[in-house]
Amino acid sequence: MDVIEALMADLDARWGLEIIKATGRRPGTVYLALDRLERSGWVVSTWESDAARKGPRRRLYRLTGDALPAARRVVAKHATARQPIGQSLPQPGF
């Protein structure tokens, strides 16, 4: 869920290390989630094409436009499910 949230935080393509830092998860966990999201059609990846940048090419990931509404629903549903008991319903205003 946090990988999806990190991708939603900035709809521009993000490289894997950015997502790892945003989630606080281990690289293997993040890249596995990204791979699954890509295979399901929620994420597309491309290789960076900045020839002026030093270092190895970076793989960039972004949510597809079609996946964004579904991602928002899933994140909202997950946030509701995480609320402590008694806080999921509005409190009466006495």
Read off the pTM. 0.78
Ramachandran angles phi, psi of 75, nearest 5°: -65, -45
Contact 40, 26 (CB under 8 A): no
CATH class of 2-49+57-77: mainly alpha
Nearest to 63 by CA among 14, 27, 2: 14
Dmax (CA) of the chain: 63
Q: Where are the domains of the chain?
A: 2-49+57-77
Residues 29-44 have pLDDT tens digits of: 999 999 999 999 999 9
Question: pLDDT: is 56 or 46 the higher one?
Answer: 46
